[in-house]
Structure 1
């Protein structure tokens, strides 16, 4: 599950390439001026006032997300407030649609996922999964790394990428003191965060860009069920995890190095054997199973996935597993960012801004599949330098406008490719919170992130396009 990029900056704020706080105001003012200039030069004489308003907001939000002059979630709040204030002055505009993004089905889906993830963390169900599965991969270091990467990827489909990475690193770092093998250390340190980021592709709640993609498709009347997304995302997530493991083993040749699983067995000794804790785990497991069942079967039961999200919210609080303090600690910033992104997407489509700019380049008659590749690459590039949620928010409406100019093109293909490609941005420590956690340990250098950044940035989009094209051609 994805998190705000603001977390990344907090984790590595002690490093010199992160902007000092006293420059934030200057960057904010610079973004304002530059957005105004871009609006002035790229606008058109035929634009009405509302189109200029939204065009400025688009440029301003992009610049704020890129520079981190204010936190990404704050940009999301700003977008909604800006649209309500300025578009509300346009008598023909219904500003309620911008506020209603806070209650969008995607938001409720994410919130249900947050409650499940918190319940798993508090009941230590995630630890139990690790204890049960990891030892089954034998005693070879390469196989244990593969096992932990797969466990990380699966957990990241329902839990926070940040929490999963932190938990897994806390499990393996004691091993570093016992075995002085730098190659082994690096394999763990890069394998776990990469698996966490890639694993988020697997489900709609696994990554915020996934939710943005689903929301974009819903805006044109196309609904993707939970199980339909998993049919695309899970195979890609697991395959890319395996491929990156192979890349790691080629880079850090561990041979037949044996590795004791005592560091995992220590978790067993530390676990809480209280009857109450065992009961909590059982409750969370039952709630998890029921919720996932109804998420997967929504297209047959007719129960919306957003409504199903009420099951963990009600059940886990009613049973006392999650209390008010836990609710306050949920990643609300992610919901704010997603809601703002949805509102911006509505405004862009409503004002037909994407259509205008697409009409300017339509004369070049680009091949539709070349455009698909370009969108995938552009998503990866932008997501390395700004929030991947923000990048998806910007590109999804543009893609929808482009494909409307072509006959017999499935919108699902473009939008799903954009959503999944956003999780392949791993080039920098600030590209993802898992990367930031690893970088904050001081055990890796910034340049070492190129391995995952370049390999997944090239292989990921290619496999995503091929797999998504195959499935959409056959089943969607």
Structure 2
């Protein structure tokens, strides 16, 4: 047995290397059994899917494989593959990441977070709501991981001021245990008879003291359970809000931009999905999911009293809330008065959002109509604004400086340096996006998408509403074990072809799949925000699973709005017509 155990450990230590070598060999029959070009493309896609799911190679390195394999296998020439890695969609995402770097550089995100928490109040349910609102807003613009990493220390500081740290909880447990032991030794649970009461008034007084001791012990136990539940509620709410908030904007999370890029690849005539139209559609859904998530977390972990009666607040809890309020105020005061750089970044951030919303809102002419049609995209808007960050001064300009010959002639420091952008921007995400677009291009050029469509004909009898529910469940489960980005890259080509087979608009299936992909709530490994919260040591896997079960019902419920774009049967690939526009701005 010892030898077998040692062998298993050796195999486990080289598992990634074994996956790298064995996966191509296992997938070789695909090259033989399928038509040549379609089989080669499917071979590459499945190979990348396995590597992404197992992380046998870094995710960004796996995304580069089409540059190697597509030309060698005769699927696509290099001059068609490489441009997919720097489409305008990638530059839109890059501009969002650079703007997020400037916000983080000047601590604007922390000021916003603390201000919201000050406004929300320090009762646990309100604080959880404040945490979720702040985290979701930040994750609309920052990455989900950065939003979680920033909010979690704030939450832990507040929790420690409310309830103390883990050592204090252990002391409370120990005190509770000692009280219960002393009660058992003194036989406090024996019921006195009427004769005992009449015979000894002193014993009667002693019994009353014992009953009070029992009540104190039970109160301590309830208080400890309350503390543990509030800790869990706080820590779970932050990564969940980050994942939910990222769905509200195109730049909030990578799967949204992959949807946009693959739509342009498969359906070039589709131009209704842009930053503004996506926000009008997704932001109300984000608020709905956030509110339902807050209710569910508060119900599970004691933040809300649903019994219809307000219990009297104990002095201990009142003091704890005062301490929490003081912690938030102290952190906010440490930031000092708002600086000129913060004001400048806030102004440019608001300008960034307004210009993206108003470029081409569809229901009215946008400012892009002043230029040559089709020339100005969201990427042009984003890159224009973030370029200003690299030369706009971080100190307030002064006219007196020009006339003061003794003033220091120091060079102005811009709002963001390129060195800082290099350090903070996750460049690997850009390569992941490019890998997804390259896969979509390969599916289109090789004819694999048409071949997949031919294999899906048994599903033509499935009602579209049922298809939406099944797709959402499958993708939401699959993304628990694989990267959200990799998951949506794999599924979107299949969803596009399935929509054609079902004779519905592709957005009817592709949008629920994309949104469902971001709802990776169940496991610590599902998404980096979950891992960050889980690493705090106060959460168990079962705590996350309890919340995931309810989220499936919420996502499935949202299949009903898609009926407004299921619309009439589609006869061509120019699928994105007035029905989709009507859905985005009225449905």
Normalised TM-score (structure 1): 0.88
Q: Paired residue for 1:138?
A: 121
Q: How does 1:44-443 map to 2 (within 5 A)?
A: 44=34, 47-48=35-36, 50-87=37-74, 93-178=76-161, 179-180=163-164, 181-219=227-265, 220-221=267-268, 222-223=270-271, 224-254=273-303, 255=305, 259=321, 260-273=324-337, 278-299=339-360, 300-302=366-368, 303-319=376-392, 320-329=414-423, 330-364=425-459, 365-407=461-503, 409-443=504-538
For each residue in 1:179-218, what CA deviation from the matched residue of structure 2 results, as whole angstroms up to 9, or x when unmatched? 1511111111000110001111000001111011111222
- Alpha-carbon distance in 1 for matches of 2:22, 2:228: 44
- How far has the Cα of 1:271 moved from its partner? 1.1
How many Å apart are 1:450 and its aligned residue? 0.3
Structure 1: any 5+ residue segments left out of the alignment?
Answer: 1-16
**Residue 333 of structure 1: CA displacement?**
1.0
Is this contact kept in 2: 1:171–1:263, CA < 8 A?
A: no
- 2-side partners of 1:280 and 1:57: how far apart? 48
Q: Which moved more, 1:194-203 or 1:376-385?
A: 376-385
Mapped partners of 1:425, 1:461: distance in 2: 14
Q: Which residue of 2 aligns with 1:27?
A: 19
CA distance in 2, matches of 1:187, 1:137: 16
Aligned CA RMSD, in angstroms, stands at 2.2
Give 1:108 deviation, angstroms: 0.6
Distance 1:137 1:174 in 2: 17
Structure 2: how far apart are the matches of 1:23 and 1:475? 48
For the residues of structure 2 that align with 1:440 and 1:188, how far apart are their CA atoms?
A: 14
Residue 321 (structure 1) shift: 2.0
In 2, the alpha carbon distance for the partners of 1:227 and 1:278 equals 30
Q: Is the Cα–Cα contact under 8 Å of residues 79 and 344 in structure 1 kept in the other structure?
A: yes
Answer yes or no: is the 8 Å Cα contact 1:208–1:389 preserved in 2: yes
CA shift in 2, pair 1:467/1:263, >3 Å: farther
- SS of the counterpart of 1:206? coil
Distance 1:166 1:21, change over 3 A: farther
- Structure 1 residues 266-323: Cα deviation after superposition (integer angstroms, max 9, x where no partner): 22122155xxx71111111111111111111111122310101112431111232221
Kindly indicate whether the alpha-carbon contact (under 8 Å) linking 2:139 and 2:246 is maintained by their aligned counterparts in 1. yes
Counterparts in 2 of 1:318 and 1:82: CA distance versus 1, 3 Å? farther
Separation (CA, whole Å) in 1 of partners of 2:77 and 2:549: 44
- Call closer, same or farther: CA 1:369–1:22 in 2, change over 3 Å: same
User: In 2, distance between residues paired with 1:31 and 1:462?
Assistant: 38
Give the drift of 1:23: 2.3
User: What is the deviation of 1:118?
Assistant: 0.7
Q: Is 1:475 equivalent to 2:583 in the alignment? A: yes
Question: CA deviation digits over 1:2-40, x for unaligned, max 9?
Answer: xxxxxxxxxxxxxxx9x9663221122232223324x25
Alignment check: 8 A CA contact 1:375 1:418 kept:
yes
Q: Take 2:340 and 2:456, find their aligned partners in 1: how far apart are those partners?
A: 61
Output the TM-score relative to the length of structure 2.
0.72
Answer yes or no: is the 8 Å Cα contact 2:456–2:501 preserved in 1.
no
Pick the structure with greater CA Rg.
2
Query: Relative to structure 1, is the Cα distance of residues 292 and 148 closer, same or farther in structure 2, using a 3 angstrom cutoff?
Result: same
CA distance in structure 2 between the partners assigned to 1:466 and 1:235 by the alignment? 15
